[in-house]
Amino acid sequence: MCSTLTSKSSALHLEMEQFKGQSRLPKFAVPKRYDITLKPDLTGCSFGGSVAVQLDIVCDTRFIVLNAADLSVDAASVSFASSKVIFKPWKVETFEEDGILVLEFGETLPVGSGVLGIGFEGKLNDKMKGFYTSTYEHNGEKKNMAVTQFEPVDARRCFPCWDEPAWKATFKIRLDDVPSELVALSNMPVVEEKVHGHLKTVSFQESPIMSTYLVAVVVGLFDYVEDRTSDGVKVRVYCQVGKANQGKFALNVAAKTLEFYRDYFAVPYSLPKLDMVAIPDFPGAMENYGLVTYQETDLLFDEQHSAAANKQRVATVVAHELAHQWFGNLVTMEWWTHLWLNEGFATWVSYLATDSLFPEWKMWTKFLDEITLGLKLDGLEGSHPIEVEINHASEVDEIFDAISYRKGASVIRMLQNYLGAECFQVGPLRSLASYITKHASSNAKTEDLWAALQEGSGEPVNKLMNSWTQQKGYPVISVKVKDQKLEFDQTQFYSSGSQGDGQWIVPITLCSGSYDVRKSFLLQKKFETFDVKEFLGCSIAGTGCRGSLCSWIKVNVDQTGFYRVKYEEELSAALRSAIEKKHLSATDRFGVLDDSFALSMARQQSFASLLTLLGAYREELDCTVLSNLIHISYKLATIAADAVPELLDLINQLFIGLFQYSAEKLGWEPKPGESHLDAMLRGDILTALAVFGHDLTIDEASRRFHAFLDDRNTPLLPPDIRKAVYVAVMQRVSMSERSGYESLLGVYRETDLREEKTRILRSLASCPDPNIILEFLNFLLSSEVRRQDAALGLSVSSKGRETAWTWLKDNWEHISETWSSGYLLRFVSAIISPLASFEKVKEVDEFFKVHPDLSITRTLKQSIERVQINAKWVQSVGSEKNLADIVKELAHRKY
């Protein structure tokens, strides 16, 4: 069990420095139980504490090596007690760069159990990691609360520990000197609370076995709402005083979701309570065992002022975090290489749960957004495999990305579709239940999940899935018809247009002319052909399909596969016609559009042909399909502005015409009994028309905005169209006409609804005036914007890209010192990725050579690659023949 390093240190008396730079802790000692006391000082923003760790020393050693960072360890307090003998280290040293604490003893420690005691002090930081402060207002007074956020590697900033997911133990936590009026929460219920005047000591039940990154503590002033599941689990939502009603929706979702997972996994929730807490300053949401923490916009929903999109987000985020109570907390990845087991699975199953609770939301169509985000990142040469090697703690933040979450979820959905839903949940072996039961209170690797599914299905799951998890990227399947045969050819897809050498076992699904005519097979080679008549039950005339059954062929039915499809021209034309005639499902309409967009970006399809395809979507009304069409249109307009600026007005006119049908169908006013999806879509459509300069939309938005300024309760500005109206107002803002900007800042400053503040920040960034953009970017750095919200304002208008890049360079020192690596990644990606010239590639590269930061290495490389892709695409579009004639014809086309 001991590593080579252990035996060498014992035999060769290695110095402490030998432990530096290691990817993982040595295996001298195994922690079994932590007894932790913390004493937070909310006024002085500091804390003291002590930890007693029950250890098993598993081999002869003079060293104990564990994790600690940003802590002042009291060397005199450190001791190891074993068999009534107390050992004191003769040297105690912290290596901050590696986040480790090395204790060297003067004699060999005895093999067996013992207790390591350490006293320490630390600062309650303001970086939203480790043990930190979040601020809130109560009765007009600014106050602090103390919060923990430990994933991935920040428990070590609160107490010395073995801060790796495989080192599971139990935790007994006590909080001293807590102001008596405050609420103190941890993973487990309170067992004792002793009040001493204005202070109290709060002790919690001992936890079940779990990893350090799941330990949590929150101390603050809260209201709460409460419910119970049908099997008696107490569920509470805690939020700021006065906001309890905003927690009711999430509470209802949580109680029902716990019951859904209990039944789906055939394993009950393993703790006596579940608390969910809305924190004013928090980086997203975190699945701490029994104490799930959220930023306010991910947990709170205001029936009067929140948009339908926020309601859907709250439901899916809650479902995601609660899925972790099984996948992640009960069964934990062995190392960060297997992070996707936590995040990919939780993403996939959160859609399953939300779809069960809200079937009218069409969540599996919405899931296409997850697939697309995974495909976009994985189409980069700078992507990484799902199972990625992690060699240092500093590398972990960068893999909390679309590969671990979105691609991970997508390949699970692809596998479920191939094996059948019943293999996952039902049948004699109930594969997921078997996996969870076998690895409960322990750790697992990717191959453990494959083994459970293979046993349940009888299929070679490990062989099938290794090509998807152990290599980066995915294939594009080229489809042709030749001599009555369908030809399938797979090559690795790169958005850059480069050719990769990857090869996959691909679950192919296809239908022809009707969803009643379906086939599926595994493409295990690079190239395979099939007899069409035998395969589809119809014959083919010439090179394209003819007749009722073979009027069109769609590969990757319902987009359940994680790959793209490229059709020869006649097959593409047939699909375009099928879309116009409404023969394809929403998921397949989405797939044809998204694949064509990706192929155009990779310069495998012309810009003009993509614009022509968009016309087939003029009468599109599906929320997810139209939302993607809008985002694609934004990108195309930006590329056109750089490549053919003289055509931009015509292209904007083309897009306005494209969205007129849906805008007229939806209108401005909510309709009685309309669907949740129509409410979401209305805002997206109106926002698009405003961005593309539709004067009537901007005029009406301005009228409604001024009515809102006069009366905040006006029915003219319901939550679902507020962002559209705010964006429309910003389209006419300039340095000489600032009133709209100033008015929105005024609304931002007066509201206490987090959702409204974030909505305004996103809208202000859309201004086309670079001078206003610069002013707004500086506002993001001010104390008026919470740190987790600053990144929301970085997606600036296309005319503000150069300004944003200059601003990032000018403020890089301050930004890199203020925001931790997880947020720094967002600054880099949001500002650099939209740039679109080879000159900018050189500028970015040169700047970061002078300002290196290892924590952003992967993200920076990906962002630079995106700039290169944009530049090549601009170059290609600029040289495209007959583009002007085609754009004019499409812009003036009467539908």
**Would you name the residues annotated as active-site residues?**
321
Question: Which residues on adjacent β-strands are paired with residue 136?
Answer: 143
Q: Considering only CA atoms, which of 815, 800, 871, 801 is closest in space to residue 842? A: 871
Tell whether the torsion through CA atoms of 595, 597, 601 and 607 is positive or negative: positive
**Cβ neighbours of 354 (radius 10 Å):** 25
Query: By the 8 A CB rule, do 603 and 414 touch?
Result: no
Tokens of 326: 């099984």
178's CB contacts (< 8 A; 6+ apart) are 40, 184, 199, 200, 201, 202, 219
Q: What string of H, E and C letters represents the secondary structure of 647-716?
A: HHHHHHHHHHHHHHHHHHHHCCCCCCCCCHHHHHHHHHHHHHHHHCCCHHHHHHHHHHHHHHHHCCCCCC
Q: Distance between alpha carbon 370 and the CA centroid of its chain, in Å?
A: 9
Tokens of 640: 């056109």
Question: Which residues on adjacent β-strands are paired with residue 850?
Answer: none
Query: Strand runs (DSSP E) across 318-462, as ranges?
Result: 331-333, 442-444
Angle of helix 739-750 relative to helix 719-730, nearest 10 degrees, comes to 140
| H/E stretch holding 477 | strand 475-482
865's CB contacts (< 8 A; 6+ apart) are 380, 381, 382, 496
**Cβ neighbours of 584 (radius 10 Å):** 21
Q: Give the CA count within 13 Å in the CB-facing half-sphere of 804.
A: 28
Give CA separation, 811 vs 778, 785, 807, 826, in Å: 9, 16, 6, 15
Query: Strand runs (DSSP E) across 502-655, as ranges?
Result: 506-512, 518-523, 527-531, 553-555, 564-567
Return the ∠ at Cα 880 (arms to 378 and 380), rounded to 5°: 10
What span, in angstroms and rounded, lies between the C-alpha atoms of 451 and 468? Answer: 16
Give CA separation, 526 vs 336, 567, 613, 738, 816, in Å: 32, 16, 29, 59, 45
